[in-house]
Structure 1
């Protein structure tokens, strides 16, 4: 079965088209051209703001002219992750989709259902002539995944609707009315290359982890390759005085749990068997720790040719100790909403630069602003103690729940009428653009909902096919049921 054989056909048709258009964060130009061509083909009004956000408008269907304007919103960009050895160029190649029983996934890469499926629903509504709805504004924002740039810079007056349906949630049957705010804490180590004094060099590779979204999946206890590597390095540096750290790399994106990491190490040849024994013992421990959540974890050690220079010993020790001390995972649960993560932090990436620097990116989230700042300060303190320079991104606000929302009641009533059961009303620990929209447009009445996605931000990303039909039915019923002004 192919993606174009799935139902609802019109949604999958546009999702397929979206997968053929490269759209990495901050490089959405080809998608913008696609949207411009789509609007022209369907004779729809399109406008673009300075940040390259796109708004496409569609008039109400007959008899619905007095219904309030509804904004349907999704982001254009996708997280670009692939398995090692997958020959995929995210700036030029289409995503290759695979129907796997009840799920749709990609061949070795992220699928881009986050948030391509939201875009597909918008396009399907814009292109259809048999759907009842009031005036529609479809907002397509840029760079949600790496900076929330589009939402942050959305111009005043760009949208006119007072109701917004965010199509960027990941569990069918759940309606979200709040989300966490977040910020990044970034540590930079500077070092002078140091001539190596050891005679045996080897590389440690951490692979096979599932990875995942650092917000919606942080509570699962998924393995973090950066933390696993830090634990190995801490054991080695504590067991052999001559250990030299020559190179290190781990993780990629601030909002993804690191799946892979590696380091190149120099030691005296007399310590080779000690290092091998320590790593083998540690591998057994990690496999046992993660057997129920990351059973494919792999830790390998293999020799490499001699390396002329290493990171200065003091800096390498400072870095290893800081990575070991840096918190990762859930830092607190909500006191108001059972089961909701309130505060978390993610040790996202460790990267060496060509300018003799090592940059460590961490990401903090919380639905309580003071707790977000507390955990950011905790991470900052760890790296200050390690003599690193620390900086922060601007961050983004959370979205406070409104249980008296008018559009929430419409969504609840229509879901029960359609499916004979109550939708779950929730807040999400992941960041959504809604908090930024509310800051610019305080009158907005918003909800967020979507079909079921799993393992987003990783090559295991997939979407449950049957839930797209359910979500689509619910979306259409909401549009049909919004009362006139």
Structure 2
């Protein structure tokens, strides 16, 4: 599968990326890939071990004569976001990713590509295999479950890593280098809400809001993209005019992906059905105008369902309260940074929302450059959803990465970038949650930077990587590793 990747350059990188595409690796299901990499390391004579969580470390001895060079850690995560377009059947635990090239970009057919963070991992493996590379002691750290919980980094063993410098290869903008990132936390809301049997004079409608682009809930949160949960809740709010009761809801699949689709079933008086359809059609036009060219594929469709007498929608009061809470819940950019121009400081993504048989569940991802702002936003959720009797838990908190603009590693990178590409890189702080903040909290002595090729549409089936930037990324990475082996 994906034989065409063998024709791309740099060959070493693309050969390893082909292996990653052909080996299913959604978050929580990285075991097959870990075993494959251990077998590969055995064949290459590269030492390998795992910590208690299962994070994988590969170690390659220094080039003879360079044993005294400070150790360098090359870091990436093995898992990928599992997202497919509606109607595209793909089993992320069994099926390989099917890739193709178009107009200088590599895409996947109907699914996420896994360039996040597969290309960083592939580049690390290529470095370890490169017979002509001059280097000091190398450690390759491959973490697990980054996309769902940051679990691998959060559970990383203490006093395990030996290097003093770390290259995180999980960034997505060629020509830029990142020295800081947001921290974050999952806000999980659960409630059992009162229901009432379907009335004999009620009908059931199914609402489907589809066709949005989606995207990365950190890097794309400031873009003019629609959030399917936010938009469909707005429709439900308008339908309170006809006494609609929420019966079922499914919106979003990952807390760190901006939702592309949401679906709801509502019960309402049969004699109000035509009024409801009018409201829905008018709102569809309104929402499309508001989204404009930023997210122009939205479709809002209503269809009548045959009512089942054993179903129980929420009571009208419970439905009104839940929709109101979702309607006012923080979503999108909360505040831009005053200290780092153009960078989002605090945001929230209404990532996953569901309702079934009165059981409500929400998982939102709060991000901020300030840990205190993450806590404050989470507390707003507690205050808001506490009003409807919901339980609110804050989980998987991870710290931000405090920038160090005077680090030696950054200066060496800038010099290599200038020498190789003829210009200095842009030094930036990213709103996405890189693992560097967590790694730095466990290993505070580490000097770290993050960089990578140009990837667009991460966490959505529109994910793609610009081929030309992969070649430059590889040459820059290789040049930097060799430069760090010298005084």
Task: Return the TM-score normalized by structure 2.
Answer: 0.97
Shift, 1:122, TM fit: 0.9
* 1:397 counterpart = 2:399: yes
User: Which secondary structure does the structure 2 equivalent of 1:219 belong to?
Assistant: coil
CA deviation vs aligned residue, 1:372-414 (integer Å, no higher than 9, x gap): 2222222222211232221110400000000111110010000
Quote the Cα distance in structure 1 between the aligned partners of 2:396 and 2:256: 15
Partner in structure 1 of residue 318 of structure 2: 315
Partner in structure 2 of residue 482 of structure 1: 484
Q: Is the 8 A contact 1:353 1:359 kept in 2?
A: no
Partner in structure 1 of residue 239 of structure 2: 236
Shift, 1:130, TM fit: 1.3
Partner in structure 2 of residue 44 of structure 1: 46
Shift, 1:135, TM fit: 1.3
Shift, 1:315, TM fit: 2.2
Quote the Cα distance in structure 2 between the aligned partners of 1:147 and 1:137: 23
* 1:296 counterpart = 2:297: yes
Quote the Cα distance in structure 2 between the aligned partners of 1:372 and 1:157: 28
Worse overlay, 380-389 or 76-85: 380-389
Q: Is the 8 A contact 2:136 2:485 kept in 1?
A: no
User: Which secondary structure does the structure 2 equivalent of 1:301 belong to?
Assistant: strand
CA deviation vs aligned residue, 1:391-444 (integer Å, no higher than 9, x gap): 110400000000111110010000011111110000000001111111111100
Partner in structure 1 of residue 217 of structure 2: 214
Partner in structure 2 of residue 445 of structure 1: 447
Q: Is the 8 A contact 1:251 1:259 kept in 2?
A: yes
The equivalences for 1:158-307 within 5 A come to 158-197=160-199, 198-237=201-240, 239-241=241-243, 243-307=244-308
Q: 2:350 aligns with which of 335, 339, 347?
A: 347
* 1:93 counterpart = 2:95: yes
For structure 1, the residue ranges without an aligned partner over 5 or more in a row are none
Quote the Cα distance in structure 2 between the aligned partners of 1:311 and 1:199: 13
Shift, 1:320, TM fit: 0.6
User: Which secondary structure does the structure 1 equivalent of 2:117 belong to?
Assistant: helix
For structure 2, the residue ranges without an aligned partner over 5 or more in a row are none
Moved over 6 A (4+): none
Worse overlay, 49-58 or 301-310: 301-310
Shift, 1:484, TM fit: 4.3
Q: Is the 8 A contact 2:247 2:356 kept in 1?
A: no
CA deviation vs aligned residue, 1:85-138 (integer Å, no higher than 9, x gap): 111101111111111121111111111111111110011111120122211100
The equivalences for 1:466-481 within 5 A come to 466-481=468-483
Shift, 1:312, TM fit: 3.0
Quote the Cα distance in structure 1 between the aligned partners of 2:295 and 2:405: 37
CA deviation vs aligned residue, 1:229-258 (integer Å, no higher than 9, x gap): 100000001x113x2211111001111111
Shift, 1:295, TM fit: 0.7
CA deviation vs aligned residue, 1:44-80 (integer Å, no higher than 9, x gap): 1001111000000111223433321100000011110
Quote the Cα distance in structure 2 between the aligned partners of 1:317 and 1:174: 47
Shift, 1:483, TM fit: 5.1
Q: Is the 8 A contact 1:166 1:447 kept in 2?
A: yes
Q: Is the 8 A contact 1:196 1:244 kept in 2?
A: no
- Count of residues in correspondence between the two structures: 482
Q: 1:84 aligns with which of 75, 86, 90?
A: 86
Aligned CA RMSD, in angstroms, stands at 1.3
Quote the Cα distance in structure 2 between the aligned partners of 1:312 and 1:389: 19
User: Which secondary structure does the structure 2 equivalent of 1:291 belong to?
Assistant: helix
Relative to structure 1, the CA distance from residue 483 to residue 3 in structure 2 (aligned partners, 3 Å threshold; closer, same or farther) is closer
User: Which secondary structure does the structure 1 equivalent of 2:295 belong to?
Assistant: coil
Quote the Cα distance in structure 2 between the aligned partners of 1:82 and 1:166: 27
Task: Return the TM-score normalized by structure 1.
Answer: 0.97
CA deviation vs aligned residue, 1:337-396 (integer Å, no higher than 9, x gap): 110100101111112356x41101111110112222222222222211232221110400
CA deviation vs aligned residue, 1:247-295 (integer Å, no higher than 9, x gap): 1110011111111001011222221221111111111111111122111
